[in-house]
Amino acid sequence: MLTFKEIVYMVLDQLKLAADDSYYTEEHIIFLADKMRAMLLYRKYKGGRNQPYQEVAESNYQDIELDLEQTEVVPSGCHAGWLRTKQTVPDIMEVGEPKAYVVDAVINDLVTFIPVQRMPYVGYNKWLKNIIYVAKGSDNHLYLHSNNPQAAYLQKVKMSAVFEDAEKAATQTCDGCQKCDVLDMTFPLEDSLIPTCIEYIVMELSGARYAPQDKDNNAKDDMSDAAMISKPNTPAVKTSREGE
């Protein structure tokens, strides 16, 4: 898999620009790469109503680790006393299935990711009381709920999902005590879509458009005909002799 830096350099190489005095900044290219990535993933996996189901490649996922805290502020319709992540979660694409894992020496298992509307109604079955449920609230925090008494002492949770803002999700994996460079992090896009993503970024930056050229070395003005072809809705101007 490529890094953000490799994506940036490949784009700059195709644009034939120098990295030092380039008009396009690395931040702008990363911004475009994020947008093109989201568009390509949505088009491939959610583009058509009758599109067959496809398993989302693991290379499109990102993992983030979040700190947990006790909270009395919970999503609407839910009772208090749950755990909530201290950090907000980046927007999740409607591609793939988000997963969450608890980070604990005693409890180290996959938790059940459910819609936030279901949270008030889970955890009461005596056969399922040890299951930890997690949901993303309207405030973009994750909420955890379980009747397992050990769950109250959890301090961290890991989440794996296809995030819409890959740059934000990448920087959120950084340790709070050290600075990290997003350019050195993996760009979460499957290899088959990388060339198309780079092509779209180059087209966006170069302002690619149809530009007719007069390639024939003759005395005829071919450019005017090409211009008329490029604008099919332009009405032709009738000369005085054509009406005779």
pLDDT band at 163 (very low <50, low <70, confident <90, very high): very high
The answer on pLDDT for 81 being more than 90 is no
Q: Residue 243: inside a domain, yes or no?
A: no
Q: Which two tokens stand for residue 101?
A: 């894992």
- Token match 């990388």: residue? 194
Total domains in the fold of the chain: 2
Lowest mean pLDDT among 4-8, 61-65, 116-120: 116-120
Q: Are residues 51 and 73 in the same domain?
A: no
Greater model confidence, 1 or 218: 1
Greater model confidence, 79 or 229: 79
Q: How far is CA 160 from the centre of its chain?
A: 13
Q: Is the pTM of this model over 0.85?
A: no
pLDDT band at 139 (very low <50, low <70, confident <90, very high): confident
The answer on pLDDT for 165 being more than 60 is yes
pLDDT band at 215 (very low <50, low <70, confident <90, very high): low
The CA distance from 137 to 141, in Å, is 6
3-state helix, strand, coil in the chain (%, to 5): 35, 15, 50
Residue 153: its pLDDT value, please?
A: 78
Q: Residue 244: inside a domain, yes or no?
A: no
Segments forming the whole domain that contains residue 38: 1-59+164-234
Q: Residue 186: inside a domain, yes or no?
A: yes
Cβ neighbours around 100 below 10 Å, total: 22
Q: Is 137 exposed, middle or buried (0-12, 13-18, 19+ CB in 10 A)?
A: buried
133: part of which helix (H) or strand (E)?
strand 133-136
Interval 194-205: pLDDT, tens: 999 999 998 888
Q: Are residues 227 and 143 in the same domain?
A: no
The CA distance from 165 to 179, in Å, is 19
Q: Are residues 75 and 11 in the same domain?
A: no
**Amino acid letter at 79?**
H
Q: Are residues 213 and 175 in the same domain?
A: yes
- Give bridge partners of residue 186 from the DSSP assignment: 3
Report, as an integer, the average pLDDT of 174-200: 83
Interval 35-79: pLDDT, tens: 999 999 999 988 766 767 788 989 999 998 888 888 765 554 444
* CATH number for position 101: 2.40.30
Contacts of 129 by beta carbon, 8 Å cutoff, 6+ apart: 123, 146, 147, 148
Q: Are residues 171 and 157 in the same domain?
A: no
